[in-house]
Amino acid sequence: MRSPKIGWILVILLAGWLIFEIATNLIAEGLWFNELGYRAEFALRVKTQLIVGTLIFGISSLYLCGNLWVANRLKYPKPPEEQDAYPQYPKTIPLGGLLLSVGLLSLVLGLIIVQYTEVILPYWHTDFNIASLTPELPPRFRPESALRTFLDLPSSGVKTLFVLGFPILLLCIPQRTLLAIAIFLSTGLGVILSSHWAKILTSFNPTPFNQVDPLFNQDISFYIFTLPVLHLLEFWLVILCVFSLLAVTIIYLLSGRSLALGSFPGFSPKQRRHLQVISAAVMFSVAYSYVLSRYELLYSPTGVIYGASFTDIYTQKPMIEVLSILAASYGFFLLGRSVYWAKKRDIWRKMIYGMLLFLTIAGVSNYALPALSQRLIVQPNELQRETPFIQRTIEFTRSAFNLDQIDVYPFNPEGQLTVQDLLNNKLTLDNIRLWDTRPLLQTNRQLQQIRLYYKFLDADIERYTFRQRDYQGTEKQQVILAPRELDYEGVPEEAKTWINEHLVYTHGYGFTMSPVNTVASDGLPEYYVKDIGAESPEGQTTPVWISEPRIRDSIPIGQPRIYYGELTNTYLMTPSREPELDYPQGDANQYNFYDGTGGVSIASRWRRWLFAKYLKDWQMLLTQSFTPETKVLFRRNIVERVQALAPFLRFDRDPYLVVANTDLSGDNSNNKENYLYWIIDAYTTSDRYPYSDPEKLPFNYIRNSVKVVVDAYNGKVYFFIADDSDPMIQTLTKIFPNLFRSLNDMPQSLKVHIRYPVDLFSIQSDQLLTYHMRDPQVFYNREDQWRSPLEIYGGQPQTVEPYYLIMKLPTENREEFILLHPFTPASRNNLIAWLAGRSDGENYGKLLLYQFSKQQLVYGPEQIDALINQDPEISRQISLWNRQGSKAIQGNLLVIPIEKSLLYVEPLYLEAEQNSLPTLVRVIVAYDNQIVMANTLERAINAIFNSPNSSPSNPPTPVIRNLDEIGSP
């Protein structure tokens, strides 16, 4: 009697601990969401998860445990001593067959449990996956997946031990073992399906795409919003049915001490009925799985193109439909057998023949028929057969990646730039990027980190409008801005105390800003903003050093403290009695007390206990440093922060800091002159867009639908809809009406800093390499395949990445901020086209593709780099610099369209091998048939175009060569 009581006590204690863990996490998370103003969104999420999880757990446990209970009632009792009292049935199973049957069933059940445990465990979080991305759909059950699990057993001792020990456990305590597994699976299924709460909510609020697939005539919204939930139901039903069938069969085979007696007397009529009903459920789930498998043909990667091809449609689709009908028919037959033909024993032979026929048809349709159809029907005339399906893939891929919205223009370089053309494009020339982020970050880490605990993780290209030097107007300037964050890992080990980590080292401070096109006298970057705690001309201490009054007038600085950023991975309790390190100044430090609006109050005792438990930091209960105003600031990493708020979005890899004079909170009293904001691009994505080729991506549909703004001081997060035509964001807006704002509500001082994101542009550029071809025959033969060109950077070839420019597009009459990427043919090095992504004003988000004539040779980056390195004077100079202790680094080669011509610009840096501090020593410019290397960009351009700006003090060219003399590649 003691063992059951102890077991129930342990179960109650475990359940109580689990409820306590979940409750404390939910309360803490609820307070965090409430602090950010998104309590309703959190409540909807938790309510959906609880309803789905409870419903799935209840139905699963009722079905699984109910079948186990019925099997326990119908199983043979322990036989009496008189053997003839044991019921005998015609079909007995001898000991060998019984051992083989139990062994095989136990092995299959053990493999399924291992397989589904691997699926369930990553989903299990007591915080309800609050800070995680929306998980991918669990894998569909297939017999071959169990086989793969079996083949992988030798690589895992734990799995092997479980699979081998599982039959022994079943023999010893079959009922309790299967009951425990049933409860485990029910709980796991509840956790898995509740983790997909976002998919479930969107399936109830679909928005039409107003585009149908040509195979099933379903609107795309069915595949984006509904099909994933149907797959979740399939995953759930299959495991319920298969586990029940295997578990019940094992219980019956082991009942009545059949192993000890050496034979199994056969299934009783009631047992047969039970097994037939469960088998019917299995066949219905198989039929349902085959119905869904038809839609999977739209994502088939096996043909000449992505999506349903000739073989998929005319061979596999009919066979899948036949199999779904056969499976459903067999399920109805089993149900009828259990009710109307229970006493007909000869029908078992027909049942076995029917199952063998079904398995044979399934095997032939999955493997043999598609291969024969492909070889005998498709391959002899593949282009003709596949042309309509190639057209579908091209059309749907272009639509899914928004390539069908690209405006295409011809661009034929004439090579006739004049000095007047250069004057008309002065803003473009003044913003040619000589510095990229890599050498600038190296310089910052040497000169601007100030202390070991400061770090420049990243630098970003942006544009700002400054007053001109004569104060007669303003001009747009491309700059590199790098935030100076506090990295607690850089604090000396001796100083890594609890107080320092959570109360003292709390924030980063300031940033550097450098124009992309100018160089200081020592060859280092020129800084508009740098240092910490500078002294103004009036004798006052300013937060950072600013180069000149016009910059100070154009950029609001305020108090540039960064409490929320990319490196802020610790949690804080602030303000406290301990002063926070603000910044070092000389031999002393300046201190500060946080007065922002971020954080959750822990003034009350119960909240302190709550967050001590939530953060697993019991020191919070012992410290005397807290005040009634103390708040806990956690989840300060901005990427983790926005993922926790909107896990159904995919976020850009490169958040960037902007300086803007605005207050999104609408409460100027709380802003404290903070003007630092992070902007993060967010995307709606799906892998369910029919016929759309994902290539190597985890999705095949993407839109840059949201711009996220995070206050670097107060931690507030704001979501602005950047593309309201996207059906996915329309659906999310229905579900979370208070989460998203219109882009029109974004303050203008922030809106001028949104830019076409590099991640999206790179994805579209990669897709365009193939899917610019719209003719099926050209696509099939890959006659016009493109690639991203290569360039030499630091002596090593690398792929040219998209880069930002301020330039005037050939079809426009004023300069704008664009993202540019050139293309070359797959088998040649000359330029074939370039793609521009626009970022300014009403043109934001538009893509323009300029294509060169195929009859005209236009030099590509690889050819220009080759010509530069072949030039004897340039090569000799680079060799002189590449002496022991230093090396010359060729920077990014920029292709810059100006009017109807192309200008190529490449900076040349000199870098020491030890304590690297790159300096810009030369600028190489190539145009038409000339290459020039000079000390500055202005001198190089003057040399090429014989500009009247040249003077004896500014000689035209130290190095110049004619491309015709060097020879073309």
The mean pLDDT value of the chain amounts to 86
Chain centroid to CA 378: 37
Structure confidence at residue 364 (pLDDT):
77
Confidence grade of residue 954 (pLDDT, cut at 50, 70, 90) = very low
Mean pLDDT of 398-403: 96
pLDDT digits (tens, 9 = 90+) for 525-545: 999 999 987 765 555 667 888
CB-based contacts of 769-778 (< 8 A; 24+ apart in sequence): 769/823, 769/826, 771/394, 771/397, 771/398, 771/401, 771/403, 771/693, 772/403, 772/833, 772/849, 773/394, 774/394, 774/398, 776/383, 776/386, 776/387, 776/390, 776/391, 776/394, 777/383, 777/387
pLDDT at 641 over 90: yes
C-alpha 655/C-alpha 755 separation (Å) is: 11
Which token pair is 635?
């989840």
pTM (predicted TM-score): 0.91
Confidence grade of residue 130 (pLDDT, cut at 50, 70, 90) = low
- Residue 279 burial by Cβ neighbours in a 10 Å radius (0-12, 13-18, 19+): buried
Mean pLDDT of 569-584: 92
Residue whose structure tokens are 């110049």: 960
Chain centroid to CA 704: 13
Residue whose structure tokens are 């088939």: 300
pLDDT digits (tens, 9 = 90+) for 868-901: 888 888 988 888 888 767 888 899 999 999 988 9
Confidence grade of residue 120 (pLDDT, cut at 50, 70, 90) = confident
Residue, of 575 and 101, whose pLDDT is higher = 575
At 511, which helix (H) or strand (E)? strand 511-515
Q: How many CA atoms lie within 13 A of 698 on its CB side?
A: 6
pLDDT at 82 over 60: no
